[in-house]
Amino acid sequence: MNTYAYARVSARDQNLQRQFTAFIEFGIEKSRIYADKKSGKDFERTEYKRLLKRLKSGDLLVIKSIDRLGRNYDQIITEWAHITNTIGADILVLDMPILDTRTKADTLVGKFISDIVLQVLSFVAENERANIRERQADGIKLAKQNGVKFGRPRKEYSDEFLSVAFDYIEKRIPLKTALKLSGIKQDNFFYHIRQIKQLIN
């Protein structure tokens, strides 16, 4: 039996170290840790696919938290079933020890509880994604209704800029990513963030 780990962050400039540290403390070799810097909206990820090719029946896959595996409810359930049923490997979620399919070797109740908790948590993760999209759309609509303007000569903000701004305001992306996506300097970016906050509050 081999033990592997999978880590993921959404942006290229976000840090994987916290997840790596947890895996190493668990006793997993660095050569068996796979990591992607990509959105969790689907499973089209290079390192994740490499990991699946390595996984065999009886192996253990460790992840830090369920949202590191993905954020799409239906896809998480499908992928979980593929790993545990089709491949025959086990999964352990470090931040939620009850999500440990190794319990199926002891009792059917353990397996049942693990599957139920997974479905609840996956639903919560997917629901939060939907809520984020709704809040962002509402924020952009409100900002435009209140006449948010951008640049000189004065013109309306684009939906793309407002999307970046709201991602930054809600701490979904770091400043470095926001500046890169918006294409403006830090002082100017902060000015417009203040303007947007005033108009949506």
Contact (Cβ atoms closer than 8 angstroms) between residue 67 and residue 125: yes
Answer positive or negative: Cα dihedral of 36, 38, 44, 46.
Answer: negative
β strands within the chain, DSSP E = 3-9, 33-37, 60-63, 90-93, 149-150, 155-156
Tell me, what amino acid is at 38? K
Find out whether 70 and 76 touch, Cβ atoms under 8 Å. yes
Q: Which two tokens stand for residue 73?
A: 């409810």
Residue 10: active-site member = yes
Measured distance CA(104)–CA(160) in Å, rounded: 47
Backbone CA torsion sign across 37, 41, 45, 51: positive
State residue 127 phi and psi, 5-degree precision: -65, -35
Retrieve residue 79's tokens: 């992928």
Active-site residues, by number, are 10
